[in-house]
Chains A and B, each alone.
Chain A
């Protein structure tokens, strides 16, 4: 059983609330004093993103290993033969710009501009949807060329990796739309801007993963 010395607790409280109580910053953060002085929710999201690095690292490594294997005759084309780099470049640009609109949404709500925040959140969701639509188009184009999920080991790894990423983007879109609905219902005041920030962290991470995938999977062949 751990005990905290009263003085240490008091010191933490004073450090967290220099004014002696809840102040504007505390309300803006929307959370109570913590041991670290930081938001537990934000810390949890960063920890989660750290673990997501391991997930996507595994998926990308698996694809890289299978990409080097020779495809037996009759087991479809190699993935790299079917890439449409210009198309994927545009998709990448769209996702990159969605990161911009996401951070602008955060900046808006931190300023108390809820209307603009909703506009930027919707824009981010639309850009994300455009990216996912591009991925779906790419997948269907590959399937038409004879590269399905089970065609060969390379295709399985490719679809698993990009599919997982696409699912992450889709989940992010739902999160963004949920924030818009919350804002419309008045349940996302300026004091809860951190909620948008945490959603933004997830969204930016999804973008960052695509930055890695686009380079390592598509451009380095």
Chain B
């Protein structure tokens, strides 16, 4: 009954409640387009760094990595709905991600990649 009421009262706000009780009002189509535009702008900024990399010097790599992380997080949070879904999904994905990052940083360090 509570689920039906919520769905009736907010037909446009999102996609309603799930039976599990994890309330997640998903973004509207307009919001998704906004997110995509932001991602496009960041991608354009990344490409611009290719043409000005001499001027950026040692700041190039941190800037590119920061933009990469932001894009990654935005796609995961909004398009993959991690922001709106159960924390268990986030924990599961982030665990695998952190494990991969940790293991391969160790591998790269072993082969003196950063020297």
List A residues at the B interface (Cβ < 8 Å).
15-19, 22-26, 28-29, 33, 36-39, 42-43, 46-47, 49-54, 56-58, 60-61, 64-65, 68, 85-86, 89, 92-93, 96-97, 99-100, 102-104, 107, 110-111, 197, 200-201, 204-205, 207-208, 211-212, 214-216, 219-220
Contacts and interface: CB of A to CB of B under 8 A. Distances in A.
Contact of B40 (A25, A49, A96): A96
B13 interface: no
A215 to B, nearest CB: 4
Contact of A208 (B2, B61, B75): B75
A15, A64, A208 — which one has the most chain B CB atoms within 10 A of its CB? A208
B7 A50 contact: no
A110 B15 contact: yes
Given A99-B79, A103-B32, A220-B60, A23 B40 contact: no
At the interface, is chain A mostly helix, strand, loop or mixed? helix
Interface in B80-106: 80-81, 86, 88-89, 92-93, 95-97, 99-101, 103-104
Given A49-B96, A65-B108, A107-B32, A219 B71 contact: no
Contact of A38 (B15, B20, B104, B107): B20
Nearest to B32: A103
Contact of B97 (A23, A53, A102): A53
5 cross-chain pairs, A with B, having the tightest CB-CB distances, nearest first: A50-B96, A57-B100, A37-B20, A26-B19, A100-B36
Contact of B100 (A53, A92, A197): A53
Nearest to B80: A204
Could you say which interface size class chain B belongs to? 35 or more
Contacts, number: 168
Nearest to B104: A61
A208 B72 contact: yes
B115 to A, nearest CB: 10
Given A54-B103, A61-B107, A99 B75 contact: yes
Contacts of B89: 38, 42-43, 46
Contact of B22 (A24, A38, A92): A38
Contact of B92 (A46, A57, A58, A204): A46
A83 to B, nearest CB: 9
A64 B64 CA distance: 16
A64 B95 CA distance: 23
